[in-house]
Amino acid sequence: MGTMMLAAGFAGDNMQGRFGDGGAHHPVLRAILFVVFLAVVAGLIWSLVALSRAKKRAAAATASAATTTPAAAAAPAGHQSGTSAVPSALQILDERLARGEIEPSDYETRKRLLV
């Protein structure tokens, strides 16, 4: 008899409240699932915006580094000595390291080339 009751339970008789009905018919559960869905969508949008901003910052830093040359950042126009470009280039290199645009190992390599 127990086997027949068990079989009747799985045959579709009185399946209310079991996992077979999808489980999302309760209004509170629907609300919770909706909030979770919105949180996931908001997280994805936030991630895409943050990634886009990071790419723009990196591109702007690369562009500004490419346009700023040691000759253009040299001492004022009245000073034409050949050694004035080296301290200015080192200063720019120090600033780039401080802003985090270059790694310390890259900094050391470039500094050796300038000195």
Mind listing the pLDDT tens digit for each residue in 19-71? Answer: 555 556 788 899 999 999 999 999 999 999 999 998 988 888 887 777 665 55
Give yes or no: residues 76 and 54 share one domain.
no
- Quote helix, strand, coil % in the chain, to nearest 5: 70, 0, 30
The pTM for the full model equals 0.38
* Cα distance between residue 75 and residue 15, in whole Å: 84
Query: Given this model, what pLDDT does residue 78 score?
Result: 44
Match 């908001």 to its residue by tokens: 42
pLDDT at position 76, please?
Answer: 47
114 shares its domain with 73: yes
Q: Assign 3-class secondary structure to 46-64.
A: HHHHHHHHHHHHHHHHHHH
Task: Provide the CA 102 distance to its chain's centre, in angstroms.
Answer: 18
Q: Are residues 38 and 80 in the same domain?
A: no
Return d(Cα 100, Cα 94) in angstroms, integer: 10
For the cut 90, the answer to whether the pLDDT of residue 14 exceeds it is: no
Average pLDDT, the chain: 76
Domain interval for residue 55: 21-67
